[in-house]
Structure 1
């Protein structure tokens, strides 16, 4: 078991299977694109351990609290890590987190998007530490996100040579 997998297990966290979109929805892209020593990661949303989108859905600051948004961002990290594990074969191949772009499905007037995306960043820093886990980041509010997801996050990592 890799170091990162051991840390996930110690935290009682499970990586979900690949997301299956709702019937009739076609997603014509890959979740992780490997290019040289980098992995570019498509937008991910929160998944339950079984694979479908995690509930609750909706706007943070409206139907969802800040805390629920934070937890959704943490689940989004697990979704992304699951696809990275499948693409790389071993999460220990990630030498550095480069950047994260976090989008929050925000109710009008909600301005705490950075606190929501901290759910993602805090888990990455906990797993990889302050050097390899440090990443550049944006956290922005959106009027809507696909399927009513509260957050969507994309990113990029460096892969060890």
Structure 2
């Protein structure tokens, strides 16, 4: 089954690959690898904002909200893969995800938030979607995003 067919089977539609918000490119293919810049969680065209664990603020987010944001970041990563490679069948393996979670100092479930992205990568790419990962807390992300994720992807030659 192709990756596009798998996405359809999962009921997923890729968003349009987001343009950069500053002076960088979304992805660089070099030496059989694709390095993808950090992607934000666009949901219905808007960036999900707010810190995970901040329940004193109306924009405070739960762990489950964080997982939804991480999943949205993963979809955007896949959209960037398609834009950069032209064909998702060139993806050989998801090598590593770097997950940044905007959260309060006492929130310690960053790995659970990151699972929103990791589980999606495995669902879409099968065993090739299993990857190494970092999941860290940060005080703030660009545009006040809840989560940001970058990726390293092994790719097949053209």
Instruction: Provide the TM-score with structure 2 as the length reference.
Output: 0.90
Residues 73, 116 of structure 1: 8 Å contact kept:
yes
Equivalent in the alignment of 2:136 = 140
Structure 2 residue matching 1:41: 3-state secondary structure: strand
State the alpha-carbon separation in 2 of the partners of residues 53 and 154 from structure 1. Answer: 19
How far off its partner does 1:53 sit? 3.2
Equivalent in the alignment of 1:61 = 53
TM superposition outliers: structure 1 runs of 4+ over 3 Å: 52-55
Deviation string for 1:109-155 (max 9, x for gaps)? Answer: 0000000010000000111112x112110000001111110100011
Instruction: Provide the TM-score with structure 1 as the length reference.
Output: 0.89
Equivalent in the alignment of 2:75 = 78
What's the RMSD between the two structures over aligned residues? 1.5
Unpaired runs of at least 5, structure 1:
none
How far off its partner does 1:20 sit? 5.0
Q: Out of 43, 58, 61, which is 2:38 matched to?
A: 43
1:104 has 2:96 as partner: no
Equivalenced residues, count: 152
State the alpha-carbon separation in 1 of the partners of residues 38 and 150 from structure 2. Answer: 4
State the alpha-carbon separation in 2 of the partners of residues 8 and 54 from structure 1. Answer: 22
Unpaired runs of at least 5, structure 2:
55-59
State the alpha-carbon separation in 2 of the partners of residues 20 and 42 from structure 1. Answer: 11
Equivalent in the alignment of 1:18 = 17
